[in-house]
Chain A
Amino acid sequence: MKRYLPFIIVAVVAIATLGSGAALYRAKLPHLLTISEDSVSGKGDAESMHIRGNPEASVTLEEFGDFECPNCAKLATFLDQVIKEYHPRVRLIFRNFPLPNHLFARDAALAAEAAGLQGRYWEMHDMLYREQPVWSSSKSANDARTLFISYAETLGLDFDLFRRDMDSDKARERIESDQAHAKSVGIKTAPSLFVDRREMGPNDRTPEGVRRLIDEAVKAKSSASEKK
Chain B
Amino acid sequence: MTVSRFRTILYIVVAIVSLAGLADAAYLTVQALTGETAVCGGSPDCFRVLGSSYAKVAGIPVAAFGSLAYFSVFSFATFAAFSYARARLFLTLTVGAMFLVTLWFLYVQAFVLHAYCRYCLFSAAITFLLAGLVIALPPSQDASDA
Point out residues on A near B: beta carbons under 8 Å. 2-3, 5-6, 9-10, 13-14, 17, 20-21, 24-25, 28-30, 69-71, 99-103, 188-190, 202, 205
Q: A101-B43, A103-B44 are in contact. Are A24 and B27 (CB under 8 A)?
A: yes
Distance A71 CA – B35 CA, assembled complex (angstroms): 11
For B46, list chain A residues within 8 Å (CB): 101
For A29, list chain B residues within 8 Å (CB): 34
B22 touches A101 (CB 8 A): no
B71 touches A101 (CB 8 A): no
A13 touches B19 (CB 8 A): yes
B38 touches A69 (CB 8 A): yes
- 26 A-B interface contacts by CB (under 8 A): A5-B82, A6-B81, A6-B84, A10-B74, A10-B78, A13-B19, A13-B74, A14-B71, A21-B26, A21-B29, A24-B27, A25-B34, A28-B34, A29-B34, A69-B38, A99-B39, A101-B38, A101-B39, A101-B44, A102-B47, A188-B39, A189-B35, A189-B36, A190-B38, A202-B35, A205-B35
Q: Which of B35, B42, B82 contacts A100 (CB 8 A)?
A: B42
For A24, list chain B residues within 8 Å (CB): 26-27, 30
Q: Which of B31, B71, B82 contacts A13 (CB 8 A)?
A: B71
Q: A2-B82, A6-B82, A17-B71 are in contact. Are A99 and B30 (CB under 8 A)?
A: no
**A65 CB, nearest partner CB in chain B, Å:** 12
A6 touches B79 (CB 8 A): yes
The 4 A-B pairs with the shortest beta carbon distances in the complex, nearest first, are A28-B34, A6-B82, A10-B75, A24-B30
**B118 CB, nearest partner CB in chain A, Å:** 12
**B30 CB, nearest partner CB in chain A, Å:** 5
For A28, list chain B residues within 8 Å (CB): 30-31, 34, 36
Q: A28-B31, A101-B43 are in contact. Are A9 and B78 (CB under 8 A)?
A: yes
For A2, list chain B residues within 8 Å (CB): 82
Which of chain A's residues has its CB closest to B46's CB?
Answer: A101
Which of chain A's residues has its CB closest to B36's CB?
Answer: A28
Distance A205 CA – B38 CA, assembled complex (angstroms): 15
